Amino acid sequence: MSSDSIERLLQADFEEARAALEHDGFPERLLARLQKGRRARLLVIGGAGGVGAIIAGAQFASISSELAASSHFVRQLTALAENAGFSPAFAPAMLAAGAIAAGFIATAFVLRAEQ
């Protein structure tokens, strides 16, 4: 057999294999499998965010009291809040609520990235 005929035979075999692989439906099957798991991932991430929110809510009072006692900045905010007619617990509570809101926002970004 000449080298030209072997080359043509190999080229025909490679073309046949390439054609079979191009039309085997792999991308469609892969995308379908990924779509099936999307709802489960959303439920798990949303559930984890909900559990985190419950834990954060349970710790809310202790977080705000720790914030009130721990920082000169928070003491100044508390004094400003009192001067404005708010409760002394207003500033630490707002800082704690901001921290919890940041957690919610982070969870929302993760869920948004899943879509």
- pTM of the predicted model, to two decimals? 0.40
Q: Using CA atoms, how far apart are residues 65 and 56, in angstroms rounded to an integer? A: 14
Cβ within 8 Å of residue 87, ≥6 positions away: 81
Instruction: Give the end-to-end CA distance of the chain in Å, rounded to a whole number.
Output: 57
Please check the confidence at residue 68 and state whether its pLDDT lies above 70: no
Confirm if 114 and 108 have CB atoms less than 8 A apart.
no
Q: What is the mean pLDDT of residues 44-68?
A: 76
Q: What is the mean pLDDT of residues 17-22?
A: 77
Q: What value does the mean pLDDT of the chain take?
A: 77
Q: Using CA atoms, how far apart are residues 37 and 60, in angstroms rounded to an integer? A: 34
Please check the confidence at residue 23 and state whether its pLDDT lies above 80: no
